[in-house]
Amino acid sequence: MVRTPADDNTCRAELHEAAQELEKFRQIVETAELGVVTINENHEVVYMNAAAEAMFGYGRQEIMGGDLSPLIPSEHRERHRNYVERYVRTRRGKLIGHTAELEAERRDGSRFPIHISFSTAEVAGGLLMTAILRDLSKEAGLEREVRQSQRLAILGEMVATVSHEIRSPLALIGGFARQLERDPDLGEKSLNKLNIITHEVERLEKILNELGDFSRPHKYNWMETDVSQVVEHVAELMEPEINRAGAQLVVSRNGSLPPVMADTDRLSQVLINLINNALQASGEHPKVEVSVEPESEGVLLEVRDQGPGLKPETIREIFTPFFTTKAGGTGLGLPVARRIVEEHGGRIELANRESGGAVARVRLPTAPAIQQKLPLDGV
């Protein structure tokens, strides 16, 4: 049979149409929010979409053509390889065509929960196995936030009731004690006892105030803010206290900062808390360094001390309400600071420095990035 130019044109048109159809499906898979990873019979990755790259922290050029193992927690790698080999031999498997919730491993070694479904296809005489992945860590985070909000609501009601019942008699005790302290006929032993009473009353009042600050919903006055101006304001505000302590506060700004959406008073509250903690950790004649610089997603604020550093168990518990390593501390300052930072759409962490001492890092997103994270008005 002789092919005509018309036949060639028809064939080219059909091939072009097929290529367009294939590209359409490729774009659908490539832009899907779910991760897609396909391996062959040899446990080698033959495809990985953009969502899977973001999920695991690897570029596809690092994974495709190589073994699947980097995406699997180390203790499960050999078992998974054996499962694939058995399926290739028998064409039978418990998970094919079903879904499961498993644990995956990112490039940085961190683990995260995933929802995964498996499917297979025979292509050009070979077997391809595809996993469709959904990262459950965000959903787990939302569940934790809901539970935390519920706990805070209950705690807020309890604190309001208890504070109301305690504040009045506490104020009377403190008031009467201060009056008696001014009695010229009071003996030294009695005066010392009254001093203890007034000191403990003040401590209890401080606990009530901080507990209320921790449990009450915060109202924010949002505005575009230059974080370096907040740092300068706090440094000026704390200068008398710094001088009294014989301390040194060194402030540095590195690079041009993007604006963040913030309540400057609340952000100042966080910074004051972190600087006070650094001063208390650094011993006599402390030096505290505060730096602010731009980073990929916004602004990084660091407060560094020259103290002995933090024990691992302290780092794990440091943001737990009422946990404190300071004599007379309430254990509420850092939980309040974390809440404020998170309600700014940011995050806060404490770690040890290689050169000694500890560092508090506060990361805040740029103004446009936080718009969807702002609490509702009045919250």
Give the count of domains, the chain.
Answer: 3
Worst-scoring range by mean pLDDT, 16-30, 72-86, 253-267, 311-325?
16-30
Domain boundary among 180, 195, 216: 216
Q: Which residues of 330-352 are buried (b: 16+ CB within 10 A; e: fewer)?
A: bbbbbbbbbbbbebbbbebebeb
Q: Residue 62 burial (CB < 10 Å; 0-12/13-18/19+)? A: middle
Same domain for 237 and 106? no
Same domain for 127 and 67? yes
Same domain for 182 and 148? yes
Instruction: Indicate which CATH number applies to the domain containing 119.
Output: 3.30.450.20
- What is the separation of C-alpha 199 from the centre of its chain, rounded to a whole number of angstroms? 37
Same domain for 243 and 233? yes
Residues 212 and 206: their CA atoms lie apart, in Å, by: 10
Is 262:223 a contact under the CB 8 Å cutoff? Answer: yes
Same domain for 366 and 243? yes
Same domain for 345 and 226? yes
Same domain for 365 and 352? yes
Kindly tell me if the per-residue pLDDT of 73 is higher than 90.
Answer: no
Instruction: Indicate which CATH number applies to the domain containing 179.
Output: 1.10.287
Residues 28 and 186: their CA atoms lie apart, in Å, by: 85
What's the domain range around 361? 218-379
Kindly tell me if the per-residue pLDDT of 233 is higher than 80.
Answer: yes
| 169-201: pLDDT as tens digits | 888 888 888 888 888 887 888 888 888 888 888
Instruction: Indicate which CATH number applies to the domain containing 279.
Output: 3.30.565.10
Kindly tell me if the per-residue pLDDT of 260 is higher than 70.
Answer: yes
